[in-house]
Copies of this chain bind each other. A is one copy, B any other.
Amino acid sequence: MNDLQQQLAAIVGPAHVLTGEAELASYLTDWRGRYRGRALALVKPGSTDEVAAVVRACAAAGVPMVPQGGNTSLCGAATPDQGGRSVLVNLSRLNRIRQIDAANNAITVEAGCLLAQVQEAAAAAGRLFPLALASEGSCQIGGNLSTNAGGVQVLRYGNTRELTLGLEVVLPDGCLWNGLTALRKDNTGYDLKDLFIGAEGTLGIITAAVLKLFPRPRAVVTAWLAVADGAAAIALLGRAQARFDARLTAFELISRQSLDLVLQHIPGSRQPLAAPAPWQVLLELADGGAWADLQADLEDFIGGEMADGRVQDGVLAQNETQARQLWALRENISEAQKIEGLSIKHDISVPVSRIPEFLDLAGTALAAAFPGVRVVAFGHAGDGNLHYNLSKAQRQDNDAFIAATPQANRIVHDLVARLGGSISAEHGIGQLKREELVRYKDPVGLDLMRCIKSSLDPRGLMNPGKIL
């Protein structure tokens, strides 16, 4: 053990410092297996004070730190570089629910809590913590905060940023900032917490947060609707919002090709309507009143849409089992696509009004550049956020197509930029999109980011090589 390793062992206890190649292996690669790094050690502090002491020791030694939660980043944000000089600071042991204040609709949690653990603690107090993601059983709330994670209920409840009231952060010099307020209104100076949310651990290590809770809806109703095209879907969204406003908790768009993949590859999947449609919308409402009333309201709304021919067909879940079956069709798209083979993935957003234009223009441009390309488009249309994944049907064709990723990215991302959109709606930048960021971000905005980074972390020790 070298000097720093010994100091770290003294801080957290020798059992919580890993240095061997075999014990480190699973922490050195990312969830999608795109990156493999090296590290001097992995350290698992057991308290905020230990995190601060670890940061001070690393800072004194001039050693870079890579904060790591559940290691589920889709962009390699929690994987160290190849240099082998970094220390991985793993937050898993900071996993206490510190406090629940149901009357204030707030919960104070440590960074290493699993997202599912936060959801369960809220439920046990009769409340809802609405952040919900595919990886909720393994991702940690510190990672959700550092990525500003999204998910399927952003339409109603916002991103992780909007769900956060306060933060506790260990700064790059090892000082502890206590910003754990539980207030809905606080105008005492600069908004510090939002600097750390979405910063992917490059400005400090989030150790705890105060998060918003909500009443648990008594009634949830779910519908699966067939529409002709993107424009019809977005027009439907507008009318659903006018009628139901914040009771509209989800509005997911699913292309026929996405649905077909699920029906083909996921056992037990069943087409919910008589005939497949070019586009499907999965829509959910939630309310604190009686289920039957909400269901009747939704039936009335959909009846009107169908009578006017604006929705071609539709089905309402009659119970929770049916609702879960509809949701499974949406949630299994990524899994079905994985079974089918590799694809080029995009996580883009545009103004909601421009989704139809994006779908038309991107589809046309890609078909021209890559004849036979298969577009699997689906996602959070209510937020202007689509997952837009491309592949080719034949294995050999697809290998050549995957090799052309930069050209495909250029078509998709140039169009996104032209429509005023974002090349990363909810997954962050990490290592994966650093170069794309430089290409598309406003240069003055990039300079501002660099200015903030160099003033908070002048030696560049916090998660180097991520974002900037």
CB-CB < 8 A to A454: which residues of B?
455
Say whether A351 contacts B101, CB under 8 Å: yes
Main secondary structure of the interface of A (DSSP, over half): mixed
Q: What residues of chain B lie closer than 8 Å to A192, measured between beta carbons? A: 445, 448-449
- Known A238-B103, A245-B287, A288-B242; judge A422-B199 contact (CB<8 A): no
Bound-complex Cα distance A183 to B440 (A): 15
Contact among B105, B449, B452 with A452 in the assembled complex (CB-CB below 8 Å): B452
Does A350 interact with chain B (Cβ within 8 Å)? yes
User: Are the C-beta atoms of A444 and B178 separated by less than 8 Å?
Assistant: yes
Residues of B within 8 A of A243 (CB): 288-289
Q: How far is A380 from B183 in the complex, measured between Cα atoms in Å?
A: 12
A427 partner residues in chain B, CB cutoff 8 A: 187
Which residue of B has the minimal Cβ distance to A217? B245
A464 beta carbon closer than 8 Å to chain B:
no
Cα A216 to Cα B241 with chains together (Å): 10
* A361 vs B243: C-alpha distance when bound (angstroms): 44
Taking a contact as CB atoms closer than 8 A, the residue among B184, B354, B383, B445 that contacts A349 in the complex is: B184
A162 CA / B288 CA spacing, docked (Å) = 24
Measured as residues with beta carbon below 8 angstroms from the partner, the interface class of chain A is 35 or more
In the complex formed, the residue of B with least CB distance to A161 is: B191
Q: Which residues of B contact A181 (CB under 8 A)?
A: 420, 422
A441 touches B188 (CB 8 A): yes
A190 near B185: Cβ-Cβ < 8 Å: no
Contact between B288 and A245, CB atoms less than 8 A apart? yes
- B451 close to A183 (CB less than 8 A): no
Question: Are A103 and B191 within 8 A (Cβ)?
Answer: no
Complex-state Cα separation, A427 to B238, whole angstroms: 34
- Tell me, yes or no, whether A133 is within 8 Å of chain B by CB: no
CB distance from A454 to the nearest CB of B (A): 8
Smallest beta-carbon distance A356→chain B, Å: 9
With a cutoff of 8 Å between Cβ atoms, the chain B residues found around residue A345 in the complex are none
Chain B residues closer than 8 Å to A383, beta-carbon distance? 184-185
Residues of chain A touching chain B, judged by Cβ–Cβ distance below 8 Å, are 101-106, 147-148, 150, 154, 156, 158-159, 161-162, 171, 175-179, 181-192, 194-195, 197-199, 203, 214-218, 234-235, 238, 241-247, 286-289, 297, 349-354, 380, 383-385, 420-429, 433, 437, 440-442, 444-449, 451-456, 467-468
